[in-house]
């Protein structure tokens, strides 16, 4: 990617992240960039939004089902 294209992409992500923060989406910069990349590849944005919502609902139950981390390594 040429430097100008990289700068434009970075500025676009910065703007999208700023809008995301204003809308209080709770998305971090990396997650937002992945979602934008998926949209660029043709994934339906409404389907992505539904997946994000569903994963957020399941997050508390996923955390409680994970095994506890060991307190110290041997």
Q: What percent of the chain has pLDDT over 70?
A: 81
pLDDT higher than threshold 90 for residue 66: no
Mean pLDDT of 44-64: 85
pTM of the model: 0.73
Residue 63: pLDDT over 90:
no
15-26 residues labelled b (16+ CB within 10 A) or e (exposed): ebbeebeeeeee
Per-domain boundaries in the chain: 27-52
Mean pLDDT score, 53-71: 67
């Amino acid at each position: 990617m040429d430097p100008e294209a990289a700068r434009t992409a970075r500025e676009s992500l910065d703007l999208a992240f700023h809008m995301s923060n204003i809308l209080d989406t709770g998305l971090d910069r990396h997650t937002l960039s992945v979602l934008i990349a998926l949209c660029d590849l043709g994934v339906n944005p409404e389907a992505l939004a539904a997946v994000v919502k569903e994963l957020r609902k399941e997050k508390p139950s996923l955390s409680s089902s994970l095994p506890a981390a060991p307190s110290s390594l041997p």
